[in-house]
Amino acid sequence: MVGYIARRLLEAVLVLWLAATLAFVAMQLTPGDPAQTLLAASGASAAEIAERRAQLGLDDPLFVQYARYLMDLVRGDLGTSWLQGRSVGRMILERIAGTVELAIAAGVLGAVLGIALGLLAALYRGTWVDTVAMAVAAISLSTPVFWSGLLLILVFSLYLRWFPSSGWGDVRHLVLPALTLGFSLAGSIARLVRTQVIEILRMPFVLTAQARGIPLWRILLLHVLRPAAGPVVTLIGLQFGFLLGGAVVTESVFAREGLGRLTVQAILWRDLPVVRGIALVSAIAYLLTSLIADLCHAWLDPRLRQDRGI
Amino acid sequence: MTVKREYPGQSVLARALCLFTIPQLHAIAPRRPLWRQPAAILALAWLAAVTLGAVFAPRLAPEGPLIADPSRALMPPGLGGLLGTDALGRDMFTRLLWGGRWTLAMAAIALALTIGLGLPLGLLAGSRGGVVDAVLMRLLDAWLAFPGLLLAMTVVAILGPGLLPAAIGVGLSAAAPYARVARTTARAIRAQPYIEAARALGASPWRIAVRHILPNAAPTLTAFALAQFARVLLSGASLNFLGLGAPPGTPDWGAMLDDGRSYLRVAPWMATFPGLVLTLTVLAANLLGDRVQE
Strand partners, B11: none
Cα–Cα nearest to A251, from A94, A99, A109, A96: A99
Instruction: Tell me chain A's radius of gyration from C-alpha atoms.
Output: 24
Burial of B171 (0-12, 13-18, 19+ CB in 10 A): buried
Measured between beta carbons, which residues in chain B are less than 8 angstroms from residue A241?
144-148, 150
Name residues whose C-beta falls within 8 Å of residue B163's C-beta, 6 or more positions apart in sequence: B102, B106, B245, B246, B247, B250, B252
What is the model's pTM?
A: 0.83
A243 to chain B: closest CA residue: B147
Q: How far is A191 from chain B (nearest CA, A)?
A: 12
Contact between chains at A146 and B254 (C-beta distance less than 8 A): yes
Of A27, A144, A272, the CB nearest to B238: A144
The residue of chain A nearest to residue B142, with distances taken between CA atoms, is A19
Q: For domain A96-308, give its CATH number from 3.40.190.10, 3.90.1300.10, 1.10.3720.10, 1.10.10.10.
A: 1.10.3720.10
Contacts of B156 in chain A (CB under 8 A): 267
Per the CB < 8 A criterion, the answer to whether A219 and B121 are in contact is no
Closest residue in A to B241 (Cα–Cα): A146
> Can you give the pLDDT at residue A309?
56
Nearest by CB to A286, from B139, B147, B279: name it: B147
Cα B260 from chain centroid?
23
Give residue B160's pLDDT: 82
In a mutational test of the B interface, the residue from A142, A207, A274 whose CB has the highest number of chain B CBs within 10 Å is A142
How many Cα neighbours within 13 Å face the side chain of A199? 10
Report the alpha-carbon distance of residue A294 to residue A285 in Å, rounded: 14
Cβ distance of B150 and A158 shorter than 8 Å: no
Domain positions in chain A are: 2-74, 96-308
B58-63 CB contacts, 8 Å cutoff, 24+ apart: B60/B97, B61/B91, B61/B93, B61/B94, B61/B97, B61/B98, B63/B91, B63/B94
A150/B241 CB distance under 8 A? no
**Which of B59, B104, B73, B88 minimizes the C-alpha distance to B253?**
B104
Phi (first) and psi of residue B27, to 5 degrees: -60, 140
Under DSSP, is residue A208 helix (H, G, I), strand (E, B) or coil? Answer: helix
Please, which residues have CB within 8 angstroms of residue A168's CB and are 6 or more apart in sequence?
Answer: A98, A174, A254, A256, A257
B10 phi, psi to nearest 5 deg: -105, 170
pLDDT of residue A42: 65
Q: Are B84 and B76 in contact (CB under 8 A)?
A: yes
Tell me whether residues A142 and B18 touch, CB distance under 8 A. no
Q: Considering Cα of B209, then B212, then B218, then B221, what sign does the dihedral take? A: negative
Closest residue in chain B to residue A267, using alpha carbons only: B157
Spatial neighbors of A86 by CB under 8 A, at least 6 apart, are A80
Residues of B in contact with A16 (CB under 8 A): 142, 145
* Separation CA B170–CA B172 (nearest Å): 6
User: Using CB atoms, which residue from A14, A150, A282 is nearest to B150?
Assistant: A282
Interface-testing mutation among B154, B233, B278, B281, with chain A (most A C-beta atoms within 10 A): B154
* Among A146, A242, A267, beta carbon nearest to B153: A267
Per residue in A20-57, is it b (16+ CB within 10 Å) or e — as a string? bebbbebbeeeeeebbebbbeeeebeeeebeebbeebe
| Other CB atoms within 10 A of residue B34 CB | 13
A135–chain B nearest CA distance, Å: 10
Q: How far is CA A209 from the centre of its chain?
A: 38
**DSSP assignments along chain B, one per residue:** -------TT--HHHHHHTTSPPPP--PPPPPPPGGG-HHHHHHHHHHHHHHHHHHTHHHHSTT-TT---GGGTTPPTBTTBSS-B-TT--BHHHHHHHHHHHHHHHHHHHHHHHHHHHHHHHHHHHHH-HHHHHHHHHHHHHHHHS-HHHHHHHHHHHH-SSHHHHHHHHHHHHHHHHHHHHHHHHHHHHTSHHHHHHHHTT--HHHIIIIIIHHHHHHHHHHHHHHHHHHHHHHHHHHHHTTSSSPTT---HHHHHHHHHTTTTT-THHHHHHHHHHHHHHHHHHHHHHHHH-
What pLDDT was estimated at residue A180? 92
Residue-by-residue pLDDT tens, chain B, 294 positions: 343 343 333 343 333 333 333 333 233 344 566 677 788 889 999 999 999 988 888 888 777 777 777 777 777 777 767 777 777 778 888 888 888 888 999 999 999 999 999 999 998 888 887 888 888 888 888 888 888 888 898 888 888 888 899 999 999 999 999 998 898 888 888 888 888 888 888 888 888 888 888 888 888 888 889 989 999 999 999 998 888 888 877 888 888 888 888 888 888 888 889 999 999 999 999 988 888 877
Please tell me the total number of residues recorded for chain A in this structure: 310
As a whole number of angstroms, the distance between CA B147 and CA A101 comes to: 18
**Of residues A181, A194, A295, the one with CA closest to residue A239:** A181
Distance from CA of B165 to the nearest CA of A (A): 12
Question: What are the tens digits of pLDDT across the range A178-204?
Answer: 999 999 999 999 999 998 888 888 888
What single letter denotes the amino acid at residue B79?
A: L
Please list the residues that pair with B81 across neighbouring strands.
Answer: B78
Q: Chain A to chain B, count of Cβ pairs less than 8 Å apart?
A: 184
Cβ–Cβ below 8 Å for B158 and A29:
yes
d(CA B102, CA B282): 15
Low-confidence ranges of chain A (pLDDT < 50): none
Q: Mind giving me the DSSP string for A137-189?
A: HHHHHHS-HHHHHHHHIIIIIIIS--S-SS--SSTHHHHHHHHHHHHHHHHHH
pLDDT for B119: 92
Contact B283 A142 (CB under 8 A): yes
